[in-house]
Chain A
Amino acid sequence: MYQPFKYLIAIFALLLTANVDVVAQGGDVELGNSLFRANCAQCHSRDMTSDLTGPALGPALEIWADYPQEDLYRWTRNSHELIAEGHPRAVATWNEWKPTVMTPNPNLTDTDIASILAYIEGVYTGSIGGGADQAAAGTGTTTQSPSGINKYWVIGGLGVALLALSLILWTILSRLSQVQAMQAGETPQERTFKDLFTGRTAIGIYILLFVILGGFVTVNRAVDLNRQQDYQPEQPIKFSHVTHAGLNKIDCQYCHDGARRSKHALVPATNTCMNCHRAVRKGSKYGTGEITKIYASIGYDPSSDTYIEDYESLSTEEIKEIYTKWIADQYVLENDKMDSRGEALVEQEWNHIVESLTNDVKKTVQGPIPWVRIHNLPDHVFFSHEQHVMAGGVACQTCHGPIEEMEVVKQFSTLAMGWCVNCHRQTSVNFNNEYYEIYTHFHEEIQDGSRAQVTVDDIGGTECQKCHY
């Protein structure tokens, strides 16, 4: 009869040790991840193996391993101090990288740095997912961290154990009542599992479960209405971020130039494309057709390397002539002659151009390219790219995911309010900015050590009228 309790105690013991394990893992990788994004990712590559503005941190960690850990901590907080003191490793790094100076991070506590280092090591050794994937995983709600998976197992196990326990108890109880009945001299009623699962109580529980589950699903679905995570529409031009941002490493803000000065990041104007594509006339993946769409939008004749005058007033036929000639010429250049396959191809490409650049509202090929908007926020939400990119120093990938690996862009994050608020609660503010000097209490607390960091939340970043007005 006491047997089940033993099981139970054993399970609890297991659970407790498991939890202890989870907590006891040195520096907190999660924290390290978010701190890394907030403080380091501007200059240090996220893959930890390649140099950016600052050196790759994976190898650096190995080099610093020869020195006391304290030195590395000090180096992280204020590299210049160490260089001035003549620390051999510090001086060597300085000579290699000068005149680039590492921004001091005086606000980082020992735990913070330990967490960052744990994260760096984790990424470098590959024990946690690397690079941008991982950068995003910290904020993504779908990906579970290893400790999370543990917990689910434990809870599942517990559930099964409880179920088994209650069945055992039920069996014991029904046996007991049988025995009681027999002792009283009555005919014992045989109660089967079937009775148990079809009884009134059971049906009541089924209905209750159905209502709870149904409500849960309904609410969740309703909440998800109009959310577009993973939305990956086909765009009028097969623009490849892999080619542009990944392979050619064009800075995001070269094209999305609003990100640093406006609330909108901005889809670049066609003339921005022309800065490069006046020279680059043939795509590495999709050939002539896609780039010709840019030309047809702005009115550039690649055959003569001129902008067409009075392009707006040309008829579709006249435009067709210009660009089919260009596509045909390119075909001839490749295949030495124009054949029937070529002609069909030219016609097909042209139709594709017209289809991409026109719609119900915009009837002409000329004019702006009608891109499909992927990231949509409701009208009552104010979001400023400038705020996040310039003031917050948040990397594009934090919200947009590994864009440089996306052939076709998709919405990486939920863009749900909970997602915003979570990030605001976790991200610490760069308090070196002179603007924040007005937060006198926080500064005092940092000074006397009672405060490790100031999050966006602390300075009112989760108040309604920071985003809704």
Chain B
Amino acid sequence: MSFKNKDLVWTGTGDSRNKAGDTQREEFFNLPMLNEASQEPVSNGGRSSRRDFLKYMGFSVGAAAIAASCETPIRKVIPYVTKPDAIVPGVATYYASSFYRAGQFCPVLVKTREGRPIKIEGNSLSPFAGGGTSARVQASVLDLYDQSRYRKPARKDDEGKWVDVEWSELDEEVIGKLGSSRNIRLVTNSIISPSYQKAIEHFESKYNAQTVVYDAISSSAILLANEKDFGKRMIPGMDFSKADYIVSFGADFLGTWISPVQFAHQYGKGRKIKDTSRPEMNKLVAIENGMSLTASNADEKIQIKPSEQGLAIATLYNLLSAGPRVNVSGSFANEKAQSQLERLAQELKNAGSSLIISDSNNTEEQRLINRINRTLGNYGNTILPGKPLYVKQGVDRDLRQFASDLSGGRVDAVIFLDDANPLYDTPNGREIEEALSSVPTVISCQYSRNESAEASHYLAPVDHYLEAWSDLNPSAGYYAIVQPTIQRIFDTRSAAESLLVWSEHELAKDIQASNLEVRPYHDFIQSVWEQDVFTAQSDFSIFRSFWDNVLHDGFLLNASQTEPFGEFTGGNVDSQAITKPSGGAIELKLFESVGIGDGRYANNPWLQEMPDPITRVVWDNTLHVPIHWNGTDDFEVFNNLKDDGSLVEVRVGDFAKTLPTVKQFGQLSNTVSAALGYGRRVSGRAGQGVGVDFYPILPVDAEGNTQYYVGSAEVSNQVGEDEDFAIVQFHHTMGVTGPDESEDGEIINVDEKAVMNFFSGFQGGLVDRTVIRHSALDNLQENIDKLAEERAHAQYLNDQTLYPSYDYEYKQGHHWGISVDLSSCIGCGACQVACVAENNVPVVGKKEVNKHHEMTWLRIDRYYYGDVENPKVVYQPMMCQHCDNAPCENVCPVAATVHSTEGLNQMAYNRCIGTRYCANNCPYKVRRFNWLDYTTADTFPSNEPTPFGDENFYTDDLVRMVLNPDVTVRSRGVMEKCSMCVQRIQEGKLKAKVEGRALRDGEVKTACQTACPTGSIIFGDMNNKDAEVNELLESPLTYYALEETNTRPSIGYRMKVSNAATTGQNI
């Protein structure tokens, strides 16, 4: 039985205190120091007598008896009527498919159980990203079960409310409206599906419609620069794996820029040290004002203000090129920048191969980048113009034109396709919104609640990519398939199908009549492929076998296929069009968030709860403000702000918004940064109103290109404090160095002198912790020797023990271990979201994270080290270390956490009574306690939190479909933590047993391992001498976190090595 009706049942002491529907739920654990915003401590309100005690006890015994349901319910078992061959209940089926959204393409494998997708894995068959994924790809499966999805076609009635209609009805009306329209605009983001493009072409020719392609984060300038230089609008293909020296002017190619999964995979190949005696590594130099994911990974960073990027590019060009100089007036605010650029130019000249990229959306600046790359001989080597990427095609001035056409009344029908949401994610949003009200017909082919769809008259809901057939062509010669992995959950239809129906294509009738079994659009794709793709390849002679093969692999790679491009025209760059430094004002850099992107992922709670890699803040966007070492004992913070989470007001013209701040190491003074994609006005429950929207203040340059920084912004002093500010890491530094003014500027370890400041990030005394070890490339051997010495000492101490050894058990059978390479880990968070998806880790919401109740089994710690004004960053994926001498195990009073003979630290949820001793005793702080019933596993609603909005998240059956049936859903009051994906281990072992063979290395992979785009996480059996993990763990770079505490972890970390000059402060 269930107590779902809250009014009828006494639901705990909180209920008796606040009968009047007060939804505030006070938790027992309210530490005022941690949580000043919390309510009054729970008071007893008088003495309780023994009689009360007996009453309560009697009641709880009775309640427990009822709750346990003395009468066992009758459960049914429902078999298939006709069982599909591909499905065996209880066994996962994988389908090769592809993810594409907002420019990000990723080949994937979709894991389905009983016909429903539950997990996305990378497709390791494909060389595109080598099996890597990103957090967004991992989280995309949750979007399928999004509660705010549009479920049926609808029409707005006179009062502006949606009225559900049938497809046939909608089609008829839409065709009628379109037939009487003369100026139809299709508004879309970049489309890379050949079939979809065919459908659009058909529609365009039928109605004489025009298509407006735009990208919220546009690469407009790159397209235009290449049009000027090569006569072709394109983004050339790039190969970071071949580049020894990478210079990025603000482009966050590891996190968000153009094709980050692919680039991260390529970049990662150059970061792994194979031979420590002859260490080799690529070098990454980032030139920007703050800390993007790429800048944080950079070996060296040159700090410039956003408006100085043109100047910086021109400076580098002038230093490298023998040709005519490009003169840009102005100078760098950072006096070091000029000399750093000079040194950079020198190093570039000596580098074997290089790659220079920029996120500048100024055409002339991008043309300079082209020239720098030409001068360095990168074309044909690291830049492949014959293999362009098609993932971003939008030219911003088209959107400007569209906006002015709309305002001028020159458009009478608009169709928004897929994610196109110009009302939100363009600087013209308000303008378009106003003009749209006078457009007679506005149709949305969209997926879930957003600003543009809600402003439409008709709604033609589209499929999720896991429900639809589609094809993709992300780059020349690479064709991919998107195949459905579940039947359509709702009454939806892909936008391409809708366009075919509305343009009365010959398939229109079939599409309208299509049902679950018959998908005419599948035939349409096949016919397009038969014409275009099949004929261009030579491996297959029969289309059927070609198609089956492509469907199996998920992609077709035609390596020889290139796109023709023109000769380099070599015209002069217009130096007048290059941005001039805007002087002394505070500049505001606006960037795409690694998690929620340009805003379209805002409604995904997994991504909202994934901490920002740099700031470690969840569920909010923040203003990154600079911080300085005062040279004696403390840090000076921008505008004298106090703690992280202090609210300030940002003013740009009429725009004034208040948002919380984070003190950001490495942020150039007089610059602040904030993420785009927040502050959605209309969205599903998770995304709506989270953070502040900065799209309206994005400037537009003379050519119509959107600029992603504001040259002059005002930032107020502290105006308040964000009481729910949720940040998951307070330890920021791990040995930052700076000058000591009292000692004549001698370089000292700042951490040792900084005033201790709890919960605000500056933990004096964190020096020399053995959690993190790092080295520069040129003194690697020195640091390896030092590490070996320290480890030998630690091991000597550890061997002086009275406790018995368990070597007999550990040295036979399996002994699982993981090696994490800190040099190639870029901190992107894919592993974290993969872990959430694999292990049913709940979403807890901002308030709970504020109380330090986040539940992620794997977190990525971020530490700053090196120069305090311009530090480097090390990311460390931290999960249960599966210590063979685990401190958590011997404090559990009920033996709920014990060790297995395979070296796993096991957690038995049903034995746990929630003392939390284990979490207190864990030196790695990786254990997570279910303070509330986050996944609504039991029957008492008062235990269930509401992570966002008013309703529970997991009570919805739709959302619950994403749960992995092989992993227990934990209930309130139990501890949980990383299990090393024991369900995968068991599955792999069983397969080997049944086949009567040894378990092969690499057969079992943990969720974090498969998600990683750079291959930094390797899992394996340490007892298997040939296992890759053994080789890595035995490498001299490997250390164990806090080894001297004798916990004997099974997770080894490989030292972070940066390719920079020696700092003298390493390890």
Contact = CB atoms under 8 A, between A and B. Distances in A.
B77 A270 contact: no
A382 B966 contact: yes
B90 A269 contact: no
B33 interface: no
Contacts of A351: none
Contacts of A261: 88, 91
B904 interface: yes
A266 B78 CA distance: 9
Contacts of A228: 72
Given A270-B82, A368-B78, A391 B993 contact: yes
B900 A460 contact: yes
A356 interface: no
Interface string B74-96: 11111111110000111100000
Contacts of A438: 812-814, 998-999, 1021, 1023-1024
A405 interface: no
B908 interface: yes
Interface in B44-94: 68-70, 72, 74-83, 88-91
Contacts of A469: 966-968, 979, 982-983, 986
Contacts of A225: 68, 70
Contacts of B72: 226, 228, 376
Nearest to B70: A225
A381 to B, nearest CB: 9
B719 interface: no
B868 to A, nearest CB: 44
Interface stretch (A128-136, A322-330, A429-437): A429-437
Interface stretch (A60-68, A164-172, A439-447): A439-447
Contact of B89 (A258, A369, A380, A463): A258
A93 B135 CA distance: 64
B471 to A, nearest CB: 32
Given A263-B90, A386-B990, A465-B900, A298 B811 contact: no
B17 interface: no
A468 B910 contact: yes
Interface string A51-65: 000000000000000
Nearest to A458: B901
A128 to B, nearest CB: 32
Contacts of A439: 812-813
Interface string A291-311: 000000110000000000000
A262 interface: yes
Contacts of A233: 74
A269 B979 contact: no
Interface centre among B898, B911, B996 (most CB of A within 10 A): B996
A379 interface: yes
A312 B898 CA distance: 53
A266 B80 CA distance: 10
A426 to B, nearest CB: 19
B625 to A, nearest CB: 44
Nearest to A376: B75
A379 B968 contact: yes
A465 B982 contact: yes
A463 B906 contact: yes
B656 interface: no
A69 to B, nearest CB: 32
A384 interface: yes
A269 B83 contact: yes
Given A391-B990, A435-B997, A463-B906, A367 B81 contact: yes
B969 interface: yes
Interface residues of A, number: 53
B994 interface: yes
Interface string B1011-1038: 0000000000101100000000000000
Given A370-B76, A391-B993, A434-B998, A297 B81 contact: yes
A268 interface: yes
A390 B992 CA distance: 11
A356 to B, nearest CB: 13
A370 to B, nearest CB: 5
A105 B814 CA distance: 25
Interface in A256-300: 258, 261-264, 266-272, 297-298
B806 interface: no
B83 A466 contact: no
Nearest to A362: B78
B918 to A, nearest CB: 14
Contacts of B813: 438-439, 459-460
B78 A371 contact: yes
Contacts of B77: 267, 371-373
Contacts of B91: 261-263
B69 to A, nearest CB: 8
A453 to B, nearest CB: 16
B993 A272 contact: no
A270 B81 contact: yes
A272 B82 CA distance: 8
B821 to A, nearest CB: 26
B902 interface: yes
Interface centre among B74, B75, B81, B966 (most CB of A within 10 A): B81
A391 B968 contact: no
A271 B998 contact: no
Interface string B961-1003: 0000011110000000001001100100110111011110000
A387 interface: yes
B812 A262 contact: no
Interface centre among B813, B898, B992 (most CB of A within 10 A): B813
Contacts of B990: 384, 386-387, 391
Contacts of B983: 382, 469
A464 interface: yes
Given A264-B90, A438-B1023, A460-B902, A390 B994 contact: yes
B993 A298 contact: no
B29 interface: no
Interface in A356-399: 359, 367-373, 376, 378-380, 382, 384, 386-387, 390-391
B997 A434 contact: yes
B968 A372 contact: no
Contacts of A391: 990, 993-994
Given A258-B88, A270-B79, A434 B74 contact: no
A208 B753 CA distance: 67
B909 interface: yes
B28 interface: no
B904 A465 contact: yes
B803 interface: no
Contacts of B74: 233, 372
A228 B71 CA distance: 11
Nearest to A307: B82
A464 to B, nearest CB: 4
Nearest to B83: A269
Interface string B590-611: 0000000000000000000000
A384 to B, nearest CB: 7
B244 to A, nearest CB: 42
Contact of B78 (A226, A370, A442, A466): A370
A233 B68 CA distance: 21
Contact of B901 (A226, A433, A463): A463
Contact of A433 (B811, B812, B906, B993): B993
Given A270-B79, A435-B997, A382 B986 contact: yes
A253 to B, nearest CB: 13
Given A263-B90, A434-B997, A269 B82 contact: yes
Contacts of B997: 434-435
Given A267-B77, A434-B997, 8 more contacts: A258-B89, A262-B88, A262-B91, A264-B90, A271-B81, A382-B983, A435-B997, A438-B1024
Closest 6 CB pairs between A and B? A262-B90, A269-B83, A269-B80, A391-B993, A465-B906, A464-B908
6 contacts: A268-B79, A269-B83, A369-B79, A434-B996, A441-B808, A463-B898
